[in-house]
Structure 1
Amino acid sequence: MIHLPRLTLSQSRPSDAPDFRALEADPEVMRFLTGGQTGQPSDGTWAQPQGTEPEVWTARLHDGSFVGWFGLWPEEDGSAEMGYRLARAHWGQGLAAEGARALMDWGFSQGHRAITASTLTVNLASRRVMEKIGMTHLRTTFPAWPTPFPGTEAGEVWYQALRPEN
């Protein structure tokens, strides 16, 4: 567990799955991932955790209220990719930055040399979170989306933070 001033992050459990599904049922939460489409079959990837992924951390307020999740997926090159998703009721409160910073620091303590994260170019709130925790813009890509939706035409931005040298 990672205890923070306002949050507790704990590795996900199957009992978290209903909270994850409810999060994904909100079209606004899914806007920059699926164009707001909900009810898609879950594939158990970073996009739709089931509570069985060791890379996914459930975020809750200290009273136990569900906030969202943060994930850190190791890559073969010694880096890791971070993702996060918060319930709309918790947007704009600094909780995304609090959780992402803590998980990034944890990842560096586990030996990851770099942490990357990506979002659609038009997702300004997520970009601000990445910048607030010290990530810098690495590149912009234009992937082929199987089903494009508004915003995909502007591409995807990648941010990165390197492990501090001690």
Structure 2
Amino acid sequence: MSALPEQSATLLETARLRLRRLTPADLDHLVELDSDPEVMRHLTNGRPTPLPVVRDELLPHLLDQYDRWPGLGHWAAVDRVDGTFLGWFALAPPPGDPPASGPTQAELGYRLRRSAWGSGLATEGSRALVRYAFTRLGLRRIWAETMAVNVRSRRVLEKTGLHYVRTFHLTWDDPIPGYEQGEVEYEILHPGC
């Protein structure tokens, strides 16, 4: 993994991925990604995120994170060889305003096109972000959540080095199949903790 300067649009590169800042030009990529019922299965029960929501709410929020939370945010994942948009990875900042001393933890996340599933890219990008979070940002804890029934994501988190913390239950207005098994939280702590 080679980390590049924060000012650059590229956050870091792995053997097969380049993680770069999202831009307004990524709108169509994000809409397409969130329109795949399988990609959204454990998030919205397969319902797509409407274009106006991505354009007017989601993308502006994600772009704002870069300035409010230096080093944290969501990054487009593109193929290093041909530049194909594959999805995104995130070190999502905690809710609220940034503390004066800087954040101590972030939530790991990713969303990839189905064509990228099963190739190890989710683990590759996640491992790179965890290393970045600990070595470049000095974060103390990285955590992630998913549905207990989302076995593929749980396996990625485990291969990334995160450990199971707990199972908890949320109240759903429109439950997704499997919700009764709960949500799971995983974490990894900085080796110095």
TM > 0.5: yes
> Is 1:66 aligned to residue 97 of structure 2?
no
Distance 1:83 1:42 in 2: 20
Distance 1:142 1:43 in 2: 27
Counterparts of 1:81-120 in structure 2, within 5 Å, are 81-109=107-135, 110-120=137-147
Q: 2:27 aligns with which of 6, 17, 33?
A: 17
Once structures 1 and 2 are overlaid, which stretch shifts more, 18-27 or 34-43? Answer: 34-43
The residue aligned with 1:42 is 53
SS at match of 2:37: coil
How high is the sequence identity, in percent, across the aligned residues? Answer: 44
Aligned pairs, number = 164
Kept in 1: contact 2:31–2:54 (CA 8 A): no
Q: CA RMSD, aligned part only? A: 2.0
When residues 49 and 158 of structure 1 are mapped into structure 2, their CA distance, relative to the original with a 3 A threshold, is: farther
C-alpha displacement of 1:146: 2.0
Give runs of ≥4 in structure 1 deviating > 2 Å. Answer: 39-44, 48-51, 74-77
TM-score by length of 1: 0.91
| CA 1:43–1:144: 2 relative to 1, 3 Å | farther
List alignment gaps of at least 5 residues for structure 2.
1-9, 67-72
TM-score, normalised to structure 2, is 0.79
Indicate whether 1:137 and 2:155 are aligned.
Answer: no
Between 1:71-80 and 1:90-99, the stretch displaced more is 71-80
Unaligned 5+ residue runs, structure 1? Answer: none
Distance 1:97 1:78 in 2: 22
Q: Which whole-Å CA distance do the structure 2 matches of 1:163 and 1:42 have between them?
A: 36
C-alpha separation in 2, matches of 1:112 and 1:121: 26
The CA deviation string for residues 31-86 of structure 1, in whole angstroms up to 9 with x for no partner, is 00001111446268xxx545624301110001101111011122366211111100
